[in-house]
Structure 1
Amino acid sequence: MTVRLVLGVAIALAAFAVAGRRILLLGRLGMSGQPAEPGRTRGVGGRALALVSEVLGQRKLLKWTVPGAAHFAVFWGFTILFATIVEGFGALFDRDFHIPLIGTHAWLGFLEDTFIVAVLCALAVFAVIRLTQSPQRRGRRSRFFGSHLGPAWLVLFMIFNVMWTLLLYRGAQINTGNFPFSYGAFASEAVARLLAPAGRTANDVLETVGLLASLGVVLAFLVLVLYSKHLHIFLAPLNVAFSRRPRALGALLPVYSGGREVDFEDPDEDDKIGRGVIEDFTWKGMLDFGTCTECGRCQSQCPAWNTGKPLNPKLLIMGLRDHAMAKAPYLLDAGQTNADVLAEAGRPLVGTPDEGGVIDPDVLWSCVTCGACVEQCPVDIEHVDHIVDMRRYQVLIESQFPKEAHTMLRNLERAGDPWGRGARARLEWTAGLPFEVRVLDGGKLPADIEYLLWVGCAGALDENAKKTTRAVAELLHEAGVEFMVLGGEETCTGDAARRLGQEVLFQELAKQNVEKLDAAGVKRIVVTCAHCFNALGNEYPQLGGVYEVLHHTQLLSRLVAEGRLVPEHPVEAAVTYHDPCYLGRHNRVFDPPRDILGNVPGLQLTEMPRHRETSFCCGAGGARMWMEETIGTRINETRTDEALATGADVIAAACPYCIVMLTDGTATRKQEGRAPEDVQVVDVSRLLLRAVRPAGSPPSEKE
């Protein structure tokens, strides 16, 4: 007894010393980051619910059924089997030790053994997944591409060691008469039967060896976790608890420095604009980097990575984490750094391989900010926030960004729209409508106006998007909804500028718009663009502009449900619907467009394999619509191929950006002879208008 007590305590003290030193380093490194923006600790109830749902309930992981179930088994296995660790440490002091109150109940023994078996089965599943999905077999299509596979296999091996040593100890303990459960521990009892022929003396030895081995493996596993990507075991609950609620999608955060928002009209000399070096990231950013599980769920859904671009959300986070760890001695104690650490400290955060950059510029500018990575991440890493923050530094401090974006920014500054058409062109879409569109020309909105129709740059200036605007206007008129437009007073919301990283221009445009809207007494706005919808509804409140903002599909769906619009004329077509990222994934508007399509007689809806939360981007977001796509295959063509594969005659969407990109994709496929000539790409509203328009009435647009 004395020997195993001494050995057990010595092993524990050594492991805790090594682990404690690592925890201290990680804690100091994490807190070396900048203060996070306010609100990370607000809403305790929602954060507690997130912990229950995402950590205890493994909600996001279970979306991937087989690996999710295996991870669920391992997570809850270690949670339940913590009781066996308590039993093991207690047995160092007393061979007959059991947990007070419940320690001899048969159900506890049964539960412990059930999860031992469940964990072993899960390990087999993980091994099969890693073998069949290995980068050697699937190349960059493997979600484990670039992950640290050696340590991952080592962790699986260590978990296996935890389980078999535990069974060895428990089986021998049954044979020596020191087991706390009289029955129920079926797996341990099976091992006991195998060990019984060895006799009492041998089982005494095996009990001690098994106990020390079990505790030793557990403690070694603790140290391994702290030095590997499995650090997420401890950090994931913290990252979930402090994540943006309800999710890091929709609105981008303003620029924060030192925990407060930067005032661009009167900035402080010490303000940090964006992220130019690793220490510019907040402690939440550092927590994100350390929490990455390297599972690859983000990269499996990333449209950039899946079309041959260099951006891999997982590798981006891993690169930032590895750089932070390598630079840690410099950040924490510059007086004890060596040449390698100083070289790491001198690397530019964003730079080409020749410059030694941590993040290649092509990686940074490949992002379409679609949010698929954030949606998929099981530990709530905020990839898009970090990418945009690095873009902000590049644009506002370094003036380094793709040259094609210069034209778009210049047009926004001079004309208030990305095309540079100016205010005079804002009402061209109204020509030929069978009714007069009321234009607010100064003053307040009249009392009879229900909504301001925010037309948007595309809706007013893009020839295809004008058809959507006209259709929405006709439908509102048909339903008796009184609305007005700003006409030439409307300017771009600034969405593209903000996602490019040009926060100053975004704020200038947004403040102008807020001033106009407030002066007009606007309370309710309906928009036809998913990007305008997101900016006006989610980001303008940051600047004091608080309005009720509806997407046109939400309002039209409501009007159909209320009987104010009656789609009674059949539209015979096979249709598939593309979820715009900034309508669906970012704002959870999935059902209204489908409700509209479902109410149009004659339409047959077929969903693409990737839809709703997993919808594949059209390629226009993140200001990518205004930049050339020269690396890999085109995102819009990949999405077009998915739509065409459904056999649809009509590809429906609910955002002008998506319609532009999918129209270009279908045009390319038609030229290649890979798409029928009669395939159309239209907004949902245009299909509804075809069904609502009375028979024999003249169409207002060329169908």
Structure 2
Amino acid sequence: MIVGLAGAAVTLVLAGRRILFLWKLFRTGQPDPERVLQVKRDPKADVEGQVVEVFGQRKLLKWTVAGLAHFFVMWAFILLITVYLEAGVQLLFGLHAHIPFIQTWPPIGFVQDFIAVMCLAGLATFTGIRIKNSPKKLDRRSRFKGSHTSGAWLILFMIFNVIWTMFFFRGAEVANENFSYGKAAFASHGVGQLMKNIGEPESGTMVAVEAVGLLLHIGVALAFLVIVVNSKHLHIFLAPLNVMFKRRPDGLGALLPMMSNGKPLDFEEADPDEDTFGRGKIEDFTWKGFLDMTTCTECGRCQSQCPAWNTGKPLSPKMVILELRDHAFAKAPYMLATEEEREKFTDEQKLAMEVDKELVGDEGVIHPDVLWSCTNCGACVEQCPVDIEHIDHILDMRRFQVMIESSFPSEAGVMLKNLENKGNPWGMSEMKRLEWIEDLDFEVEVVDDKLPEGTEYLFWVGCAGALEDRAKKTTKAVAELLHIAGVKFAVLGPMEACTGDPARRLGMEFVFQMLGQQNVETLNDAGVKKIVATCPHCFNTLANEYPQIGGNYEVVHHTQLLAKLVEEGKLTPVTPIEEKITYHDPCFLGRHNKVYKQPRDIMATVPGVQTQEMHRHKDRGFCCGAGGARMWMEERIGKRINTERVDEALGTDPDTVSTACPFCLVMLGDAINEKKNSGDAKESLEVVDVSQLLIRSVKGEKEPAAAE
């Protein structure tokens, strides 16, 4: 008892110091009151999150083998607390002490042994996965590239120690005829049979063996606790908190507005010296940002799905979080010190604490190439099993670089000027927004001041849909389909301006606010209630981000509306399209807004169409490379993302590649044209929007719309 209690006391002091340090570090972060308010507003959602994400391991089980292994190891951690309760009782009250029912009911002993055996199987699985996917063998193709692999092996070893000492301790109980669960605890009973030759029951030898087993089991747990709070396995305790305080949209939702000191930033009254413009130094992160950093498990699932990482670029979402975490830990002594204490630090100490190290820079914590490689596709956030919000942190660092440092890729500056001066990224005249209507054989209502009476939907055409030749085909197809279905709609024409998505995703929040407020005023004055949009970026901004600036509308993507019209019998595909088609999921339609079904439903209703999914699809879909304002930035590092995606599409041997986004249409089309020029793709291969397939079948067109 003396040895056990002394060890427990030392452990609690060491673990307590670390936990106190982390608590103080979190408190230095910027306030984020909305995180707490959302839990108070909707505690039911938090309970559901804990049940599904933490205890149900929903995201981890998407990767079946590794997910099952982690499921059993995690539940072993929870259920074997009862074994440590047993050990604690015997440590304090003697080897024969047992709590009635909890330590005497056989089914409990069976559950304990079963989960312990499954934990051993999980450890063996993890060992195999880590050997197979070792960074030494696979380099960048390993999701563990950049992770602290030695620490992971130590944790696996410590979990193994917990299990074998448990069976040693309980086996000694069996051999000493002091085990209360009987044969129900099958594994412990089996070990006990092997240990019966050590000595007679209740002999000094067996009592000593049982006591040693008890102390070993407790000692391993105490050492494990100290290791856990000082390692990436701190997520054992922090993951439930991170899940509790995560953002809770259905999908990735809107970008968070710029905040300073816990309040939305007012650009008219903001002071760069007093207010926080994004993240320019580690102290600018919120407490939730620090929680994200310390919760990272280094599993590399985000990295394995990242389109930038998979095409040879320096961005790894995992490494962004780890580098921020390591910098925060290095700088923490300075951040936690008083002004008087800071003055006493030597230059060498400040260097070690990275006091003057810039957050973003060639010699900074995050290299600019890392920051600007992100497409905002959301694959990292979708895959993260502990709900880290990588995109929020990347965008907040971009905001500081753009708005305070004026440091961003030069070609993006042209896009920003065009948005400010012309209201669209291409800098075209606003009068060109109606030219697509000239090719239609019916009249399209154009909003003057108010929405025409009886109008059901405002058709938000978008900049690409109105000005980009390939996207115009989608616009005309959707307009025709709505007309055929008898849906009364109107467009804004010259009154429409870019939603501001490219500016916001670049980090220029001010331009987004300017364009957004202009559009919201136009929409509200016109009395708009319902909007249909063909561009997923416009759709996401109108539906999820405009409520932040006073624009609340019922917004649908054109695939959602068209699928509904087909289901209601208002659109009937009749002409067969005998083609093999593979569908590309736009990131801002799929992962960001969970619209996977309707585009596929539309294709399924077209006679003759054979659909073939790419390997990476739906929530694991691969980006086209245009998101995060990358549409207007050159891709100079590694393989082009759109080329990688088209290579995957070509692997299905399609006659047509379909999608539901004008940006994807352009990016995939460009890559396919390159493949045609090099002879790697058949000349007839085209990229079309699903609406173009539908109009061909509804109207009975014999030739593909792309051949016009």
- On whether the aligned pair clears a TM of 0.5, the verdict is yes
1:12-59 Cα distance to aligned partner (Å, 9 max, x none): 001111000111001111111000152444221111101110100111
The residue number in structure 2 matching 1:608 is 614
Matched ranges for 1:200-349 at <5 A:
200=200, 201-246=204-249, 249-268=252-271, 270-334=274-338, 335=341, 337=345, 339-343=347-351, 344-349=354-359
2:14 paired residue among 2, 18, 24: 18
**Following TM superposition, by how much is the alpha carbon of 1:148 offset from its aligned partner in structure 2, in angstroms?**
0.4
Once the two structures are TM-superposed, the CA of residue 379 in structure 1 deviates from its matched residue by 0.0
Q: Is the contact between residue 330 and residue 341 of structure 1 (CA under 8 Å) also seen in structure 2?
A: no
Q: Distance in 2 between matches of 1:665 and 1:243?
A: 37
1:369 to 376, 379, 398: 376
Greater mean deviation of Cα atoms: 433-442 or 518-527 = 433-442
Q: Are the counterparts in 1 of residues 452 and 490 from structure 2 also a CA contact under 8 Å? A: no
- Which runs of structure 2 are paired with 1:494-513 in the superposition (5 Å)? 494-513=500-519
SS in 2 for 1:431: helix
**Does 2:527 correspond to 1:521?**
yes
Equivalent position amino acid for 2:601 in 1: D
- 1:411-451 Cα offsets, whole Å, 9 max, x none, are 00110000000211111111121112111122x11221111
The superposition leaves residues 104-123 of structure 1 with CA deviations (integer Å, 9 ceiling, x where unpaired) of: 00011111111111111111
Looking at structure 2, the residues matched to 28 and 99 of structure 1 have their Cα atoms a distance apart, in angstroms, of 39
CA distance in 2, matches of 1:247, 1:528: 20
| CA contact 1:649–1:680 (8 Å) conserved in 2 | yes
Are 1:250 and 1:582, in contact at CA under 8 Å, matched by a contact in 2? no
The 2-side partners of 1:604 and 1:247 are apart by: 30
- CA distance in 2 between partners of 1:117 and 1:694 (Å): 63
Letter in 2 for 1:103: Q
Closer, same or farther: CA 695–672 of 1 in aligned 2, 3 Å: closer
Question: Residue type of the partner of 1:132?
Answer: K
76-85 vs 248-257, which moves further: 248-257
Q: Is the 8 A contact 2:445 2:452 kept in 1?
A: no
Amino acid at match of 2:276: K
Q: 1:118 to 1:273 in 2, by over 3 A?
A: same
Q: Judging changes above 3 Å, is the alpha-carbon distance between structure 1 residues 150 and 330 closer, same or farther for their aligned structure 2 residues?
A: same
Residues 649-701 of structure 1, C-alpha deviation per residue, up to 9 Å, x if partnerless? 100000000000000010111111111110010000000000001569x9998
- Partners of 1:601 and 1:237 in 2: how far apart? 48
1:588 aligns with: 594
Report SS of the residue matched to 1:537: helix
Mapping for residues 398-547 of structure 1, pairs under 5 Å: 398-442=405-449, 444-547=450-553
Match of 2:459, SS? strand
Distance 2:100 2:11 in 1: 27
Task: Give the whole-Å Cα distance in 2 for the aligned partners of 1:211 and 1:339.
Answer: 50
Distance 2:707 2:555 in 1: 30
The total of aligned residue pairs comes to: 694
Amino acid of the residue matched to residue 69 of structure 1? L
Task: Check if 1:55 corresponds to 2:54.
Answer: yes
- Which letter does structure 2 place at the counterpart of 1:80? L
- The equivalent of 1:644 in structure 2 is 650
Q: Structure 2 CA distance, aligned partners of 1:100 and 1:635?
A: 63
CA contact under 8 A between 1:19 and 1:222: conserved in structure 2?
Answer: yes
Q: Which amino acid aligns with 2:460?
A: W
User: Does the CA-based 8 Å contact 1:433-1:700 persist in structure 2?
Assistant: no
| Partner SS for 1:110 | helix
CA contact (8 A) 2:626 2:663 kept: yes
Q: Which moved more, 1:102-111 or 1:410-419?
A: 102-111
**Secondary structure, aligned partner of 1:198:** coil
CA separation in 2, counterparts of 1:614 and 1:332?
41
Alpha-carbon separation, structure 2, partners of 1:341 and 1:601: 72
State the shift of 1:341 in Å.
4.5
The CA deviation string for residues 368-423 of structure 1, in whole angstroms up to 9 with x for no partner, is 00000000000000000000000000001111011110100000011000000021
Aligned CA distance change for structure 1 residues 316 and 695 (closer, same or farther; 3 Å): closer
CA distance, structure 2, for counterparts of residue 498 and residue 457 of structure 1: 15
Distance in 1 of aligned mates of 2:349 and 2:545: 40
Give the aligned residue type for 1:303: P
1:497-526 CA-partner distances (Å, limit 9, x unpaired)? 000000000000000000000000000111
Aligned in 2, Cα 1:239/1:584: closer, same or farther, shift over 3 Å? Answer: same
Separation in 1, partners of 2:500, 2:534: 16
CA–CA distance in 1 between the matches of 2:263 and 2:99?
A: 49
Tell me, in whole angstroms, the C-alpha distance in 2 between the residues paired with 1:473 and 1:485: 10
Matched, 1:34 2:40: no
* 8 Å Cα contact 1:329/1:341 also seen in 2: no
Instruction: Output the TM-score relative to the length of structure 1.
Output: 0.97
Instruction: For 1:428 and 1:33, locate their aligned partners in 2 and report how far apart those are by CA, in whole Å.
Output: 51
Quote the Cα distance in structure 2 between the aligned partners of 1:248 and 1:87: 44
Give SS of 2:96's match.
coil
* Amino acid paired to 1:411: N
Aligned to 1:101: 101
- Residue type of the alignment partner of 1:7: V
Q: Which amino acid aligns with 1:38?
A: E
Instruction: Give 5+ residue unaligned stretches, structure 1.
Output: none
Greater mean alpha carbon deviation, residues 480-489 or residues 334-343: 334-343
Q: Give the equivalent residue in structure 2 for 1:385.
A: 392
CA contact (8 A) 1:40 1:244 kept: no
Partner residue of 1:160? Answer: 160
CA positional deviation for 1:178: 2.3
Q: Which runs of 5+ in 2 are unaligned?
A: none
* Matched letter for residue 342 of structure 1: K
Q: Secondary structure at the match of 1:15?
A: helix
CA contact (8 A) 1:311 1:364 kept: yes
Matched residues in 2 for 1:400 and 1:695: separation? Answer: 50
SS in 1 for 2:580: strand
Specify the alignment match of 2:120 in structure 1.
120
Match of 1:87 in 2: 86
Q: Report sequence identity in percent.
A: 58
- SS of the equivalent of 1:368 reads coil
Runs of 4+ in 1 over 6 A off after TM superposition: 698-701
Structure 2 counterpart of 1:7, from 3, 9, 28? 3
Cα distance, 1:189 vs structure 2:
1.1
* 1:57-72 pair list within 5 angstroms: 57-72=56-71
- C-alpha distance in 2 between matches for 1:597 and 1:132: 39
Asked whether the equivalents of residues 444 and 491 of structure 2 are also in contact (C-alpha less than 8 Å), the reply is yes
Cα distance, 1:699–1:574 mapped onto 2, change above 3 Å: closer
Contact 1:176 1:204 in 2 (8 A): yes
**Residues 226-258 of structure 1: CA distance to partner in whole angstroms, max 9, x if unpaired?**
111111111000000000003671210000111
The separation in 1 between residues aligned to 2:700 and 2:319, in whole angstroms, is: 55
Return the offset for 1:291: 0.2
**Which amino acid in structure 1 is aligned with residue 182 of structure 2?**
S
* Native 8 Å contact 1:432 1:700 kept in 2: no
Deviation at 1:153, TM superposition (A): 0.4
Deviates more, 1:272-281 or 1:340-349: 340-349
Q: Is the 8 A contact 1:351 1:358 kept in 2?
A: yes
Q: Distance in 1 between matches of 2:31 and 2:151?
A: 32
What pairs up with 1:564-583 in 2 under 5 angstroms?
Answer: 564-583=570-589
Query: In the alignment, does 2:73 pair up with 1:74?
Result: yes
